[in-house]
Every structure is written in structure tokens, then in C-alpha cells.
């Protein structure tokens, strides 16, 4: 592969500036075609969950895309023929709303333009303003194959939609019927369950007495206006209170109509009065009761939720009619009780937030029964695996209890339903290669957007044609998505894929992640003021820092906490890598030449030509490489990132670089180059930009890191002896540094010290390193130990702190710190010992207090040790 970077230099600027490299590198990658699958490697494919054409990159997208890109980049480096296919969804309701708002600004409506001209206007908007998110994906670093970009309204994908609809229609899986659906009185269209968002709203619960005397019965409702359409009252068949009323009729107030009292097991006798009003045309459960008891369905509202029932309420909006009906009932003495506010779940249109109205309507439906069963079987028999496995229960709960799916929408933007009606009521479904009969009328509705996006895993690969892409990359390898749409989009793709592709699952693995939340575990909301704009973070901290922050919190199926402070920390991590590589280059680190080979010793405890420090870092590198590989395979991105973070920051930068500074040999320069090269390749899938820039400087002739080989652990470099020695050395240095910090010694201030027990601990060869790192001078003439540190392993460090520390002042300072730490411990234990607090407080708050307790207890131990040392 040709080097895609335009930078062929071994010098790095003093500071890393993401804005100087990100766009240049990304354009270079695209121009070189490194994101296009090449070669004969094993295929690995992901189709991107298509963002809406109206959308922009939000933090959920950023998390989702970071995980997908990490998977794709790693597989690409492993030699797979990787395809990450991008595209967008036409977003029927959202897009139509955008264009209609534009027209309204011009004093027009879509009806002024007519259907054909309106659709032309939407296409014009799409070309000029839609799809901004695609450019934002590039800023994040998405390594998608732009040559295969798709759009759900493209001609080829539209052909797929028509083909599937025709096949399902002919197989009896699509039908038209009067059923209760979710209706938006503002968008004037049916909605799927996915497009309805439920919130707890304040309302009122009104109890109304139907009938008089011994034959009266009380029902409760939050929508009093719908009583105008009641056709029955229902009670549970085993409810003794109402058994004498079953089969009788009662007068419906305000209407003069008499309605029957029926017995139905759906009624909960423990809820309210145990009796419910039945309005089949305006409630899904009531509709089912009505079907079972052959009740009539009376529609009392039009498509704008205006009352159409003849009488004094006709012409009123539903919210005007509600208090008017209650007032009329109160005047008649029919109100038994009123409860307000009464908090209850209310559905809202996800596009305009209008309260959804259940409505009896003639719509097109998919018979999901056989399709849902196949989708459940594919997971049960292992064709598709859900990660983490415990979320499979949610999937089964959905597909095993799925209702038929309303797929028609009363919109103009979308795939128009390919059904024509003849002059004598004839109905014909017209396939993509068929012509409609002359003079027949096409159904005016379009298909639910989720219908076309449900075909995404195979329509984007060319189906119904048997293309090379379809043969090679279907089934796709992984679907990455949030658990919140597991039931909706994932289930639909499973149903369509198995149906259209002869039982072949659309993806082998469904990898589910959680929702992005703030650092306290709180849901992000504009009202809370805690919403993160990933584009803002990219602008301020860089794409790599944004990606690393998200990936470092991503455990399978779990919510992902983030904060700006953590993103700043990720930026600092990128800067740390930059500075370490710059140091290495200045000091002659290289990737040229072979590493020294492993010596032929039985226990492989030494490697020829390598000192103990070199052997230690190579041994640690192999362990980390194996761990990171395992974590990525298990979709444990947080653990992989955390492992790499601590290896890079602690082992490489804080220890190996510092240990290597005194008298760096050619062998150490080669080892340092190898370690950094391997580390950058391990990090590349998560932070692609800085790793490309650094590796190009470190290895100018090595080509792009995008297609560099993924590191493989070499167990021959595992060296338990070297690791044990370095761990002992680190303990000594860390204890001395901690003591120095506790005593307020300046970092560069040297202190005379005597080191005892080094030989027994195997550290005698490293005394000069210990003294260099801990800023310790030899114990010369006049040495007097004023403090002694006992370190694990039998090592003691005696220090002469005369002239360096005011012992009395230091004791006073430590005593003050000890009192503060003890107070903190008492407060934390008090809260955690309060059972009521622990039960009611959010888990994140309890966890934070536990962390505070552990930190305070650690402070107490440290302060007591410092006092003892004084």
C-alpha cells in the first residue's frame, strides 16, 4: 500500500494541534482508497445505521460510529477485506416537515405546489441542505467506503422496496384493514410505535357515573371527551360487584344512547372502580374488546382531533372539548370524583411533540407473526448472536409478542405504496418491472421509513440483483446500535433479511451499547443543561480525544458516562503520546533492524543484547497486546482503552522513558522504537489521526498505519524475572517519591540516602537508576538518618532530611490533613450506614460516596505512614 500521508518527516512540532492534521490526513486516506475493500482477505462488513438526511451528529451518533470505526479499522489491519458502507435514511416525516416549514415561510403549503412539484422541492432541499451529517462523519474520522454511499430513496434501493412489497403482498403478509393506529393530528399521518415518545404528563382522572340507581356504574378516564364514542362498559367476568349488571344496558350520559355492559378478562378489577368505558374507535385495548364482543365503533374526531360527534361539542378541539364535557357532566351530577394533577404516560409524536391520538383508520399492515417467529429462531439457534447475551431476553420479549405493523403513512415524501385501484373496486399490486393498468388510481400513501431501512443490510449491497457485493458481504458481520432501538429497527431488519434472503440472517452479531449520559449517570437533556455536542468537542479537543472519551466508557450493553473534564484528559493523553514520540525521535529511536532474538534458555528469562529494563517493557508489551486483542474480540472497548491508556502513560512514558534516559544504548533505541510503533498500531482503531501522524514520523517508509499489520503478541518475550525486578524497583521509587511529596520536597531537590537490602531484593544492579529516579544522593560523611522508609521486599531507605524539612511544621500540617480525612471518613460511613439513604439515592451517587470513603481511608493510611516516618 502506498503511503497516504503527505508528511514524510522525522521532526514533530513542539505541540500536537489536531486541526493541523485531521482534515489533511482524512482527505489523504480517501484519495488513496484505503477505505475500499481490496485483496482476497476474509470479508468483514458493517452497514452503518443510516442517519436521517435531516440530522446532524449528536453524541449518540458519535459513540455508535466510534465503536463501528474501531471494529472496522482493527479488522482492516488484521488483513480482512473490510466494508463499512455509509448512507442516509430519507426520514419521511422529518424531511417533509422541514420542507413544509420552508414553504410556510414563503406563504405556501404543499397543496399549493401539488404532489409532484412538492417531491421535486424535497429532492432540491436534499441536494442543497440535506446530509450535513456525512461531512460531520468525516470530521469524526469514519473510515467508510464513500464510493458505496447509499440513500434509501435511490433508484436501486427503491427497486428493493418495491420488490419486497410485491413479494410480501403476494404471500399474504401485507394487508389493508381498519385498525387502531397512532395518529399525529399535526403531521396528519399514522405513526409507528418507534415514532411515539412517551412522557409522564400532568392530567386529570375523572370518575363518571353512568346510569342511575342500582343499575348505575362508575368509570374513570383521563380523556373525558372520548366518552362521546363509548359503545359499552366492561367489567371482569369474576367481579362479584358487577355480575348482576352483565348483559344489561346503561344510558351513556350526554348522548341518550344506551350501551351494553359486557364481561371481559382484559379488565383489571383492582384498578379504579373495576369498570372501564369502551371506546373502540379511539383506544387500542378498547378496539380489541370491541372485536371480541361485536361492538360498533363510533369515530368522534376528525384527523385534526376536532370533535365530529353531533351535539354541543361538535367543532371543538379535543382539549377544548375535554373541560366542556366535564362541565356538562358536573352540571348533571354525573361527576363522582376528580383527581388533578394526575400523572400518567402520554404518547407524543417524536417529530413535532404533538400528543398522539389513537384512531381507527384504514391502513396497510404487515402480518408480523411468521416473520417475527423467524427472527426469534435466528437468535435462538445461533445464526445471530446478541452481545451482551443478557440483552437477548429483551429481544425475545419483543419479537415473541409483536403486533402487526402499520406501514402506511399519509405523506408525500417516501416510497409510494405500489397498489392501484380499479374503477370497480379491483386491487392490484404492481412490481418494479410491471405496469399499472390504464386509468387505475395509485394508493396515495407512502411506506413507513422503517420499511425501507429494514432492508438496509441487503438493499445497499445490490439486492434483488445477485451482485458481487451481496455474495461477498452478506450476511454482514456486525450491527452496532444502541439497546434502545433493539426492539424496533433490529427486529425489522431481522424479519426482512431472513424473509428476502432465504433464511440468511442480516448480521452475525448484534453488538449493543448503552445511552450516553453525563458523569453522574444522568440522562442528557436540554432542560438539564448537560447535553454534549460532539462537534464542539472535536473543535476544541480534537476528534481523537472525543473518540477516546466515548470508547473508554463503552462496556457492552451499559450506559456510557462522559464529561468535558474526561475529554480534556483524553486530549492530554494524545499530547502525552506526541511528546513521548517526539522525545524518542530526538534521542534516535528507530524501527529499523531486527529486535535482538530470544536467548535459547530453558526458562527464557533473558534475551540476548537486552538489559533488564528493555526485557521488562517488551514483556509488558506482549501482555498488553494479548489483553487488548481479547477485549476487542469481546466488544469490551472500555477495558481495551483503559489498558492501553495505563500502559502508554504509566509503563512507557512514566517508567520506560525515564529509565532509558541515563545512557541510552542502540539496543534501547531500537526497543523504544518497536514499543512505540506497536503501541500506536494498537491505539489506531480508536484514535486514528494522532497515531497516523506519529507513526509516519517514526516509520517514514512504513506506509499508512490504516493498513499496517495489527500487532500479534509474541510470548517468547514474556519475562517474569524482568517484570519482578522492575516491579520491585518501582515500589522503592514510588515510596520515596510519595514520602518526598508528603514532606513538600521540591521535585528537583536531592536528598542524601542510604539504601539497604537491595541485593536480597535483586535490585543491586539498579541502584544508580533508583537514585536517579528518586533524586537521592549517596550517604556521605556526616550522614544522619532522620527518616526511614520500609519498602516491601526487605528494602529500607534511610534519608537525611536535615535542612530540607521543618519537622515541627510538617507534623502540624499532616495532623491537620489527618483530621480532615477522618472527618470525611465519618461523614461517608454515616451516609452509607443509613439504609434509607442507600435505598433511595441513585446508584451513581452511592458509588461516588463509596469512592470518597476509599480515598479518605487511603489518605489516613498515607498520612499516618508519613507521621511515623518523621
Q: Determine the 3-state secondary structure of 113 from DSSP.
A: helix
Asked if residue 478 is part of any domain, the answer here is yes
Here the CATH number for the domain that contains residue 283 is 3.90.740.10
Asked if residue 449 and residue 500 are part of one domain, the reply reads: yes
Among the candidates 729, 759, 774, a domain finishes at: 729
Among the candidates 729, 761, 781, a domain finishes at: 729
Considering only 16-30, 48-62, 585-599, which range has the smallest mean pLDDT?
Answer: 585-599
Asked if residue 474 is part of any domain, the answer here is yes
Query: Among 10, 40, 19, 8, which Cα is nearest to 472's?
Result: 40
Q: Which residues are annotated as a binding site?
A: 526
The mean pLDDT of the chain is 91
pLDDT greater at residue 199 or residue 642: 642
Among the candidates 357, 378, 412, a domain finishes at: 357
Burial of 566 (C-beta count, 10 Å sphere; 0-12/13-18/19+): middle
Report how far residue 467's alpha carbon sits from residue 709's, in angstroms, rounded to the nearest whole number.
Answer: 30
Cα four-point dihedral sign 256, 262, 265, 270: positive
Confidence of residue 818 (pLDDT cuts 50, 70, 90): confident
Q: Determine the 3-state secondary structure of 427 from DSSP.
A: strand
User: What does the pLDDT read at residue 785?
Assistant: 86
At 814, phi and psi to the nearest 5? -65, -35
In DSSP terms, 181 is beta-bridged to 359
Asked if residue 590 and residue 722 are part of one domain, the reply reads: yes
Cα four-point dihedral sign 112, 117, 121, 126: positive
Report how far residue 139's alpha carbon sits from residue 159's, in angstroms, rounded to the nearest whole number.
Answer: 32
Asked if residue 201 and residue 142 are part of one domain, the reply reads: no
Asked if residue 127 and residue 218 are part of one domain, the reply reads: no
Here the CATH number for the domain that contains residue 662 is 1.10.730.10
Segment 837-857 shows an average pLDDT of 84
Q: Is the pLDDT of residue 254 over 90?
A: yes
Residues 101-124 have pLDDT tens digits of: 999 999 999 999 999 999 999 999
User: What does the pLDDT read at residue 740?
Assistant: 87
Q: Which residues are annotated as a binding site for ATP?
A: 526
Asked if residue 283 and residue 258 are part of one domain, the reply reads: yes
Residues 340-388 have pLDDT tens digits of: 898 889 999 988 899 999 999 999 999 999 999 999 999 999 999 999 9
3-state secondary structure 231-277: CEEEECCCCCCCHHHCCCEEECCCCCCEEEEEECCCCCCCCCCCEEE
Report how far residue 135's alpha carbon sits from residue 426's, in angstroms, rounded to the nearest whole number.
Answer: 48
Report how far residue 284's alpha carbon sits from residue 349's, in angstroms, rounded to the nearest whole number.
Answer: 17
How far does CA 812 lie from the centroid of its chain?
A: 50
Query: Among 91, 737, 865, 160, which Cα is nearest to 414's?
Result: 91
Asked if residue 27 is part of any domain, the answer here is no
Segment 281-295 shows an average pLDDT of 94
Residues 315-346 have pLDDT tens digits of: 999 999 999 999 999 999 999 999 989 888 99
Cα four-point dihedral sign 110, 115, 121, 127: positive
Report how far residue 450's alpha carbon sits from residue 152's, in angstroms, rounded to the nearest whole number.
Answer: 10
Query: Among 285, 294, 271, which Cα is nearest to 226's?
Result: 285
Here the CATH number for the domain that contains residue 95 is 3.40.50.620
Asked if residue 765 and residue 699 are part of one domain, the reply reads: no
How far does CA 453 lie from the centroid of its chain?
A: 19
Q: Determine the 3-state secondary structure of 465 from DSSP.
A: coil
- Helix 688-698, helix 666-683: angle, nearest 10: 150
* Residue whose cell numbers read 469481546: 634
* Contact in structure between 360 and 281 (CB atoms under 8 Å): yes
3-state secondary structure 652-707: HHHHHHHHHCCCCCHHHHHHHHHHHHHHHHHHCCCCHHHHHHHHHHHCCCCCCHHH
Confidence of residue 607 (pLDDT cuts 50, 70, 90): low
Burial of 373 (C-beta count, 10 Å sphere; 0-12/13-18/19+): middle
Asked if residue 392 and residue 338 are part of one domain, the reply reads: no
Instruction: Please provide the DSSP assignment of 502-551 as one string.
Output: TT--SEEEEEEE--EEETTSPBP-TTTT----HHHHHHHH-HHHHHHHHH
Asked if residue 654 and residue 578 are part of one domain, the reply reads: yes
User: What does the pLDDT read at residue 1?
Assistant: 42
Cα-Cα-Cα-Cα dihedral of 36, 40, 44, 46, to 10°?
30
Q: How far is CA 285 from CA 87, 281, 349, 842, in A?
A: 39, 10, 20, 35
Helix (H) or strand (E) holding 217: strand 217-221
Asked if residue 720 and residue 573 are part of one domain, the reply reads: yes
User: What does the pLDDT read at residue 308?
Assistant: 95
> Which residues neighbour 505 within 8 Å (Cβ) at sequence distance 6 or greater?
378, 383, 384, 475, 494, 497, 498
Asked if residue 15 is part of any domain, the answer here is no
Residue 638 is classified by DSSP as: H
Query: Among 667, 666, 646, 668, which Cα is nearest to 657's?
Result: 668
Report how far residue 32's alpha carbon sits from residue 4's, in angstroms, rounded to the nearest whole number.
Answer: 6
The pairing of strands 507-513 and 385-387 is parallel
- Helix 688-698, helix 564-586: angle, nearest 10: 10
Q: Determine the 3-state secondary structure of 83 from DSSP.
A: strand
Asked if residue 392 and residue 353 are part of one domain, the reply reads: no
User: What does the pLDDT read at residue 4?
Assistant: 41
Confidence of residue 9 (pLDDT cuts 50, 70, 90): very low
Report how far residue 753's alpha carbon sits from residue 733's, in angstroms, rounded to the nearest whole number.
Answer: 12
Residues 375-421 have pLDDT tens digits of: 999 999 999 999 999 999 999 998 999 989 999 999 999 999 999 99
Asked if residue 238 is part of any domain, the answer here is yes
Asked if residue 636 is part of any domain, the answer here is yes
Q: How many domains does the chain have?
A: 4
Segment 712-736 shows an average pLDDT of 93
Asked if residue 400 and residue 302 are part of one domain, the reply reads: no
Q: Is the pLDDT of residue 752 over 60?
A: yes
Q: Is the pLDDT of residue 8 over 70?
A: no
What residues make up the domain containing 858? 738-869
* Residue whose cell numbers read 511529596: 741
User: What does the pLDDT read at residue 598?
Assistant: 57
Q: Is the pLDDT of residue 603 over 60?
A: no
User: What does the pLDDT read at residue 855?
Assistant: 87
Asked if residue 119 is part of any domain, the answer here is yes
Considering only 135-139, 393-397, 790-794, which range has the smallest mean pLDDT?
Answer: 790-794
Q: Determine the 3-state secondary structure of 104 from DSSP.
A: helix
Report how far residue 183's alpha carbon sits from residue 305's, in angstroms, rounded to the nearest whole number.
Answer: 9
- For residue 370 the three cell numbers come to 411468521
Model confidence, pTM: 0.85
Tell me the CB-side half-sphere exposure of residue 459, using CA atoms within 13 A.
28
- For residue 733 the three cell numbers come to 521509587
Query: Among 188, 361, 183, 328, which Cα is nearest to 254's?
Result: 328
Asked if residue 47 and residue 91 are part of one domain, the reply reads: yes
Asked if residue 686 is part of any domain, the answer here is yes
Amino acid at each position: 500500500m502506498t503511503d497516504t500521508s503527505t508528511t514524510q518527516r522525522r521532526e514533530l512540532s513542539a505541540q500536537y494541534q489536531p486541526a493541523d492534521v485531521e482534515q489533511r490526513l482524512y482527505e489523504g486516506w480517501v484519495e488513496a482508497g484505503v477505505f475500499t475493500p481490496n485483496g482476497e482477505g476474509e470479508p468483514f462488513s458493517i452497514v452503518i445505521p443510516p442517519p436521517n438526511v435531516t440530522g446532524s451528529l449528536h453524541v449518540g451518533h458519535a459513540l455508535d460510529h466510534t465503536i463501528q470505526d474501531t471494529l472496522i479499522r482493527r479488522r482492516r489491519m488484521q488483513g480482512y477485506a473490510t466494508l463499512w458502507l455509509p448512507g442516509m435514511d430519507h426520514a419521511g416525516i422529518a424531511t417533509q416537515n422541514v420542507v413544509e416549514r420552508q414553504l410556510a415561510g414563503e406563504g405556501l403549503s404543499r397543496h399549493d405546489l401539488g404532489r409532484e412539484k412538492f417531491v421535486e422541492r424535497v429532492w432540491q432541499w436534499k441536494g442543497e441542505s440535506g446530509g450535513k451529517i456525512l461531512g460531520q462523519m468525516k470530521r469524526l474520522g469514519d473510515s467508510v467506503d464513500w464510493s458505496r454511499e447509499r440513500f434509501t430513496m435511490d433508484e436501486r434501493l427503491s427497486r428493493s422496496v418495491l420488490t419486497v412489497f410485491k413479494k410480501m403482498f403476494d404471500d399474504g403478509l401485507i394487508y389493508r384493514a381498519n385498525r387502531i393506529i397512532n395518529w399525529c393530528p399535526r403531521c396528519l399521518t399514522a405513526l409507528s410505535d418507534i415514532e411515539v415518545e412517551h412522557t409522564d404528563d400532568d392530567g386529570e382522572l375523572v370518575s363518571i357515573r353512568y346510569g342511575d340507581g342500582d343499575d348505575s356504574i362508575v368509570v374513570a378516564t383521563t380523556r373525558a371527551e372520548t366518552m362521546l364514542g363509548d359503545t359499552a362498559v366492561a367489567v371482569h367476568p369474576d367481579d362479584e360487584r358487577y355480575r348482576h349488571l352483565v348483559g344489561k344496558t346503561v344510558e351513556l350520559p350526554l348522548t341518550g344512547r344506551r350501551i351494553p355492559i359486557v364481561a371481559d378478562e382484559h379488565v383489571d378489577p383492582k384498578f379504579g372502580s373495576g369498570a372501564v368505558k369502551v371506546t373502540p374507535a379511539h383506544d387500542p385495548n378498547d378496539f380489541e374488546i370491541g372485536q371480541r364482543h361485536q361492538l360498533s365503533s363510533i369515530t368522534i374526531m376528525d384527523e385534526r382531533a376536532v370533535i365530529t360527534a353531533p351535539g354541543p361539542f361538535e367543532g371543538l378541539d379535543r382539549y377544548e372539548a375535554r373541560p366542556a364535557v366535564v362541565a356538562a357532566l358536573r352540571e348533571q351530577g354525573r361527576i363522582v370524583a376528580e383527581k388533578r394533577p394526575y400523572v400518567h404516560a402520554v404518547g407524543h409524536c417524536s417529530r413535532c411533540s404533538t400528543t398522539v391520538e389513537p384512531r381507527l383508520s384504514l391502513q396497510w399492515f404487515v402480518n408480523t407473526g411468521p416473520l417475527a417467529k423467524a427472527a426469534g429462531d435466528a437468535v435462538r439457534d445461533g445464526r445471530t448472536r446478541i452481545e451482551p447475551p443478557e440483552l437477548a431476553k429483551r429481544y425475545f420479549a419483543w419479537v415473541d409478542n409483536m403486533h402487526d405493523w402499520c406501514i402506511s403513512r399519509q405523506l408525500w415524501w417516501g416510497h409510494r405504496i405500489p397498489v392501484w385501484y380499479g374503477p370497480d373496486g379491483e386491487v392490484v399490486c404492481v412490481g418494479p418491472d410491471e405496469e399499472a393498468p390504464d386509468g387505475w388510481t395509485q394508493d396515495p400513501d407512502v411506506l413507513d421509513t422503517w420499511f425501507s431501512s429494514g432492508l438496509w443490510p441487503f438493499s445497499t449491497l445490490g439486492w434483488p440483483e445477485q451482485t458481487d457485493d451481496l455474495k461477498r458481504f452478506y450476511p454482514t458481520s456486525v450491527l452496532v446500535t444502541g439497546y434502545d432501538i433493539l426492539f424496533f429497527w433490529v427486529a425489522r431488519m431481522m424479519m426482512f433479511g431472513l424473509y428476502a434472503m432465504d433464511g440468511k440472517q442480516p448480521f452475525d452479531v448484534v453488538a449493543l451499547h448503552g445511552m450516553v449520559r453525563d458523569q453522574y449517570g444522568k440522562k442528557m437533556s436540554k432542560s438539564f443543561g448537560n447535553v454534549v455536542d460532539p462537534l464542539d468537542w472535536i473543535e476544541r479537543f480534537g476528534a481523537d480525544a472525543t473518540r477516546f472519551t466515548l470508547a473508554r466508557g463503552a462496556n457492552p450493553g451499559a450506559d456510557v458516562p462522559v464529561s468535558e473534564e474526561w475529554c480534556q484528559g483524553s486530549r492530554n493523553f494524545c499530547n502525552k503520546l506526541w511528546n513521548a514520540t517526539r522525545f524518542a525521535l530526538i534521542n534516535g529511536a528507530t524501527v529499523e533492524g531486527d529486535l535482538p532474538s530470544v536467548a535459547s534458555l530453558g526458562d527464557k528469562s533473558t534475551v540476548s543484547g537486552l538489559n533488564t529494563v528493555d526485557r521488562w517493557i517488551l514483556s509488558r508489551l506482549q501482555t498488553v497486546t494479548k489483553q487488548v486483542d481479547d477485549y476487542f474480540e469481546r466488544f469490551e472497548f472500555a477495558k481495551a482503552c483503559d489498558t492501553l491508556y495505563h500502559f502508554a502513560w504509566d509503563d512507557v512514558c512514566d517508567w520506560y522513558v525515564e529509565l532509558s534516559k541515563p545512557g541510552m544504548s542502540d539496543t534501547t533505541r531500537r526497543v523504544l522504537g518497536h514499543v512505540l510503533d506497536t503501541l500506536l498500531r494498537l491505539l489506531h482503531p480508536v484514535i486514528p489521526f494522532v497515531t497516523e501522524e506519529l507513526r509516519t514520523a517514526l516509520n517514514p517508509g512504513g506506509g499508512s498505519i490504516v493498513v499496517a499489520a495489527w500487532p500479534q503478541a509474541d510470548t517468547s518475550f514474556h519475562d517474569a524475572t524482568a517484570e519482578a525486578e522492575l516491579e520491585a524497583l518501582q515500589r522503592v521509587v514510588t515510596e520515596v517519591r510519595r514520602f518526598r511529596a508528603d514532606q513538600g520536597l521540591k521535585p528537583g531537590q536531592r536528598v542524601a540516602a542510604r539504601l539497604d537490602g537491595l541485593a536480597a531484593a535483586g535490585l543491586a544492579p539498579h541502584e544508580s537508576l533508583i537514585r536517579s529516579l528518586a533524586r537521592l544522593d549517596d550517604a556521605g560523611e556526616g550522614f544522619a538518618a532522620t527518616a526511614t522508609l520500609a519498602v516491601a521486599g526487605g528494602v529500607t531507605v534511610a534519608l537525611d532530611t536535615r535542612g530540607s524539612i521543618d519537622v515541627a511544621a510538617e507534623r502540624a500540617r499532616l495532623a491537620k490533613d489527618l483530621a480532615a480525612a477522618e472527618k470525611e471518613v465519618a461523614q461517608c460511613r454515616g451516609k452509607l450506614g443509613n439504609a434509607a439513604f442507600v435505598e433511595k439515592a441513585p446508584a451513581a451517587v452511592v458509588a461516588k460516596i463509596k469512592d470518597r470513603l476509599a480515598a479518605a481511608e487511603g489518605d489516613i493510611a498515607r498520612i499516618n505512614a508519613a507521621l511515623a516516618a518523621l
